[in-house]
Structure 1
Amino acid sequence: MSIIRRLLGERDGNVMLLTAAAVIPLLAIIGGGVDMSVAYLVRGKLQNACDAGALAGRQIMDGADWDRTSREEAERFFHFNFPDGLLGTRDVSFEIAPGEDDDNELVGVARAVVPMSVMRVFGYNQADIEVNCNAKRDMGHNDVMLVLDVTGSMNDRPSAGGATKIARLRSGAMGLYRALDDDNGSVTRFGIMPYSHTVNVGRSLMNKDIVKEQPYVHVERNCYYYNGRQYCYNNYTTKWVNINESSWNIGKGGGSTGGNTQNFRTSGDGCIEERPSIGHDQDPYEIEDTVTRADVDTRAGNAGNQPELQFGRYDPGVQEAETQSGCPSEASTMQPYASESAFQTAINNATVRVTGGTYHDIGMLWGLRFISRTGFYADDNPTERDGIPVRQHIVFMTDGKLDTDDASGRNDLYSAFGLQRFQGRVQGSGAIRTRHINRFNSICTLAKSMSVTIWVIALDVTDTDDIEPCATSSAQFYTSDGSDLEQIFEDIGRGIGNLRLTR
């Protein structure tokens, strides 16, 4: 008893004993913190990998079709983001499949085992981690305007060979339709704007939009030579003139339809001459190298007495000085297509006429006019349907650089801007091609400011400097050799779709 009393009364070494006793719970706290930090880190990475796999799998699906390719794509993205042995994990698994109640939604679960380091001493050997992920393509509503190059070079075969570029376009565009054809209650509408050096939009306009009398170029004919000089009869002035002094003149009239706007619009050959820029009259007829919102949206009044706001008739028959002309197929405003075959027919009809020069600005301008919510078709372009927003997109595809007629008129190509050599309508500094590039860039910038997403496809083009900046971002710019055109259209369709996580 005396020994015990002495031990109880002895204070020497008590601090050491107390410290030793405290080490065990302290180690548990520190070790548990270390191990749990690893477990939480694994959980975060496992969740990210699960999300990536679900999104990738849903992205590659065609509609609600879940197949081996889709599953393998989901697994590939999961394992890329969570490689084997990451942070010492083992028994990693990833399961994903369509949901039982909604086959448009993918439901996934990922599991991993995290071995404990310090906590193993206390009997905790591992932490079992499990996370869930869901992904759904919530398409919403989309208006998609196709602005398609149908110039003469589209009849050529691409550098890689095979079918012509226009044939590849006709089949490739189906990829866009299929990628957006999800049966989830969303509404997708398409407009089609084939373009060359003009556009065929007459049927989509009203009589008030077409000018009754417009300027034409006249060249003197019935010529004769006298004393070394050529004299020609001018039908407009009814005088014989020295062609060396005046070889042409500008007349004004109703053209081949005599000013009958209804006949012109419904003829199927309703290609137009672009009107002056807003703020200018027909005399002088000036088109600026920049485009404003007013240029896109302003429309003539019902009285039809505002020629500066009206469009001319593309009329090669009376434009005497032209040596190259052509009118592409008719454009179509925004509308839904009930089936792939109906959409295929629309694309085929829009690409029948393949001819002419490459004026990107006229195609983009009218594509923007067709999709604008504040202009000609405002009543048909709503911002939402049943409370769900309608997103707007322009898909612009071309096979070449902007290619205008030379200002000297060596070819005298008759475009939507008239005959530049004689009529000099397009204003601005630099070469005429530069002015049209400036217009194109201005339209692209304007479209983006109107919340329109622009997707650009350069088909078999080696120099893309003119068109690449038009895309909303580098992610919306694609190049194609022709063989992958359908896949590119499909990728754009998937990009237009609003893929989102639903967990």
Structure 2
Amino acid sequence: MIGRGRDRGRSGGFLTRLVHDRGGNTLAMMAVAMIPLLGMAGSAIDTARVYYVKVRLQQACDAGALAGRKFMNGNDFNDAANSQARAFFANNFQTGSMGSEAPVFTPVKTDAGQVAATASVTVPMTVMRMAGFEPVTVSVACEARLEIPNLDIMFVLDTTGSMTETNVGDSADRITGLRQAVMNFYDTLDRAKKPGTEIRYGAVPYSANVNVGMLLRPEWMVDKADYQSRRYLGPETTKAPDTVDNADWVTTAGSWQKKSGSIVTSKSFGRPEDCSPSASTVNTSQTDTTWKDAGKGNGSQTITYTRTRTGSAYSTKVVNARCEITETSYRSYVETRTDTRVPNPNKGQTKAGATTTTYWWSYESVNVPVSRLKGTGARISGGSISMNIAAQGKSRTITWNQQNGCIEERKTVRQSTYDTIPSDAYDLNIDMVPDPSNDDTRWKPWLPAAVFARESFTKWSVPAVRSNLDFTNLQDVNSGQNAPCPSPAKLLQAFTRTDLQSYVNSLIVGGKTHHDIGFLWGLRLMSRDGIFGDVVNTGLNGAKNAQHLIFMTDGETDTDNTVYEAYGLSGLDRRRTTSFTTNDAQNNEQDTIVANRLLALCQVARRKDITVWVIAFGTTMPALLSNCTTEGRSFEASNTAQLNAAFTNIAAQIAKLRVSK
């Protein structure tokens, strides 16, 4: 029995004996209990390690995606942006962190033009490896987006004649490149905006003037205005005295006929702002025979001339704002002409003097009623008036409407510097509401069909000139260059893509470069405190949209006193210039004044919290323009590709960068 009991005790095993044997077994029991406790602790440690690695990996992925989107060249996720994304990821997740292996980070551009990325890393187990657990692979995804706040964008666009030029490396002219860049800018913002975001666009195309007439209210325009025109004085008929015809011969000239050589004509294009022909290189020599009997029995005689020409002659004209240069090349060109003369049958007879009618004009400043040009409605709609200024004092109909709705500015101050804007420089006060009782505060319509030069197109005489000569009318000379009116400006509005494309396609080019007038009206159209405040302040739910003015030009200030612009015919009106000596002197003076006025307006933009961006297209950035904005907001674009990049970079900086997932 005892033996069997001892056998049963042995058969119970170590644990059974340990239960029954209470002497000295505490330490052993604790060792056994630690086994599951160690498993639990090891699992917690490794789980915490994996969690920490995942958090750091997600943060690094977000940082890399944000950097990649920030450094994109517009919508181009190029090598530089990719490199920045990877560098930011590496700086935020060190290889070997928590014993992890080398991470894998893959950034890509999404279809929406954003940056998405994935990151993964393998984390070996520490404590749990003793229990046979394999390494864990941690993966995360991230995406960085540019999101657009509610925005007001005002394009102030140089549409001067030089926009017809083609930059080196481009296949199309500058205005074509501008149209494309504006639409790419629109597309960039449109892709980045959230549902419910409001983006409004306005536009002020400019050259020597701006087409804003149909945006004004009738009470903001004068009823009468002075123009440099002409007043018809009436006809004067005179009769020359009778004379005796003592000529021996009556001569009839023949026509030139080619004998040898050739004439080759070719066309090229130059700068519209300086559309003048090169000097002629044509050399001409001529010989002739003596008068010989024509053999007709009536006493008639003939003479033959032979003319030889070599070299080239040049002519120019502005066609659709392009300076068209025609070269006529004479290549040993020989031609002959035969003239015939017969005895004068009326010799010795009295010839009655001719009767002529002379039409007299006084070229002077003329006060013109213009109220009929206002049209009807809340805003000016245009109209027509008649003036007796056509040839022989006949009536000319003058129309002012959407197509030629430029304006003459209200009162300004003659001075060359504008450290501060004078209180009586009403034109530079962008918020001043016109006073119907004070014409100095109101605008007047721009009427090139009514404006005449004095004596000649380049000879100016301010006092009235009495003449029987038909001096030049500015519109008759060249309405695209000497009397330019850009495409109509647009108030802030929510353009559809189709509408904006149609608008930029309609932009016309021509004229000189007056930066101040474009910038002035860009500010005026977007000022919350100005005459268009009712439009500007209709933001989403009454909120104030962020305001950005994008100023693009392809050249420095370029004025000319022969141009009829926003301050009249500067060679005669001289509203801004303080003196007049020679054309070049006045032009240089005007250039300086226009530049200084622009800088004064740039300060106005800063005070109004309007962000200004400047792009120099096809030219180097003038100091004048770079000084108009802050560092990082001016761009040079030598071709269309760089112009696109400039516009899309502006769009990227306007947007707010955030992690979307």
TM-score by length of 1: 0.70
Give the whole-Å Cα distance in 2 for the aligned partners of 1:58 and 1:431: 44
What does residue range 136-155 of structure 1 map to in structure 2 within 5 Å? 136-155=145-164
Q: Distance in 2 between matches of 1:305 and 1:373?
A: 25
Contact between 1:53 and 1:75, CA under 8 Å: does it hold in 2? no
Q: Shift of residue 93 of structure 1?
A: 2.5
The aligned counterpart of 2:656 is 498
What SS does the aligned partner of 2:190 have? Answer: coil
Q: CA deviation at 1:94?
A: 2.7
Higher strand fraction: Structure 1 or Structure 2? 2
Q: Which amino acid is 1:296 matched to?
A: I
Cα distance in structure 1, aligned partners of 2:636 and 2:113:
28
In structure 2, what is the equivalent of residue 180 of structure 1? Answer: 189
Report if aligned partners of 1:272, 1:313 keep a CA contact under 8 Å in 2: yes
Unmatched 5+ residue regions in structure 1?
A: 1-35, 64-68, 116-125, 225-231, 236-247
Q: Are the aligned partners of 1:393 and 1:452 in contact in 2 as well (CA < 8 Å)?
A: yes
Aligned pair count reads 417
Structure 1 residue 212 corresponds to structure 2 residue 362: no
- Of 454-463 and 146-155, deviating more is 454-463
Which moves more between the two structures, 128-137 or 196-205?
A: 128-137
CA distance in 1, matches of 2:505, 2:564: 25
Counterparts in 2 of 1:63-82, with a 5 A limit? Answer: 75-82=82-89
Q: 1:449 to 1:44 in 2, by over 3 A?
A: farther
**Identity %, equivalent residues:** 28
Aligned to 2:490: 332
Summarize the Cα distance change of 1:343–1:218 in structure 2 as closer, same or farther, 3 Å threshold: closer
Amino acid aligned to 2:88: N
Shift of 1:218: 3.8
Residues 75, 358 of structure 1: CA spacing in aligned structure 2 closer, same or farther, 3 A cutoff? Answer: closer
Partners of 1:270 and 1:131 lie apart in 2 by 59
Task: Confirm or deny that 1:342 pairs with 2:499.
Answer: yes
Q: CA deviation at 1:427?
A: 5.2
2:396 corresponds in structure 1 to none
- Structure 1 contact 196–358 (Cα < 8 Å) conserved: yes
Q: Which runs of 5+ in 2 are unaligned?
A: 1-48, 125-134, 237-358, 384-398, 454-473, 580-587
- Which residue of 420, 445, 470 corresponds with 2:603? 445
- 1:221 and 1:387 map into 2 onto residues whose CA distance is 56
Instruction: Give the stretch that moved more between structures: 134-143 or 448-457.
Output: 134-143
Contact 2:222 2:371 in 1 (8 A): no
Instruction: After superposition, give the CA deviation of every residue in 1:23-44 in whole Å (9 maximum; x if it has no partner).
Output: xxxxxxxxxxxxx9xxx9x998
- Alignment pair present for 1:419 and 2:569: yes
RMSD over aligned CA atoms reads 4.4
Measured in 2, the distance between the counterparts of 1:133 and 1:152 equals 49
Give 1:391-470 correspondences, 5 Å limit: 391-405=546-560, 409=561, 412-426=562-576, 431-462=589-620, 464-470=622-628
Do structure 1's residue 252 and structure 2's residue 328 form an aligned pair?
Answer: no
Residues 12-70 of structure 1 show CA distances to partners (whole Å, capped at 9, x for unaligned) of xxxxxxxxxxxxxxxxxxxxxxxx9xxx9x9989946741423524875999xxxxx75
In 1: Cα distance, 2:113 partner to 2:534 partner: 32
Question: Compared with structure 1, are the counterparts of its residues 104 and 325 closer, same or farther at alpha carbon in structure 2 (3 Å cutoff)?
Answer: closer
Give, in whole Å, the separation in 2 of the partners of 1:50 and 1:203.
50
Q: Structure 1 residue 318 and structure 2 residue 473: aligned?
A: no
The yes-or-no answer on 1:54 pairing with 2:78 is: no
CA 1:104 to 1:153, structure 2 compared with 1: closer, same or farther past 3 Å? closer
| Partners of 2:115 and 2:620 in 1: CA distance | 40
Is the 1:54–1:133 contact (alpha carbons within 8 Å) kept by the matching residues of 2?
no
- Against the structure 1 CA distance between its residues 337 and 128, is the aligned structure 2 distance closer, same or farther, given a 3 Å change threshold? same
Report the secondary structure of 2:102's partner residue. Answer: strand
Structure with higher Rg: it is: 2
1:470 is paired with a residue whose SS is coil
Once the two structures are TM-superposed, the CA of residue 495 in structure 1 deviates from its matched residue by 2.1
Q: Which residue of 2 aligns with 1:191?
A: 202
Q: Where does residue 368 of structure 1 map in the other structure?
A: 523
- CA distance, structure 1, for counterparts of residue 232 and residue 632 of structure 2: 53
Is the CA contact (8 Å cut-off) linking 1:383 and 1:390 kept in structure 2?
no
TM-superposed CA distance for 1:354, in Å, is: 1.1
Secondary structure in 1 matching 2:449: coil
Cα displacement (A) at 1:391: 0.8
What is the TM-score when the length of structure 2 is the normalising length?
0.54
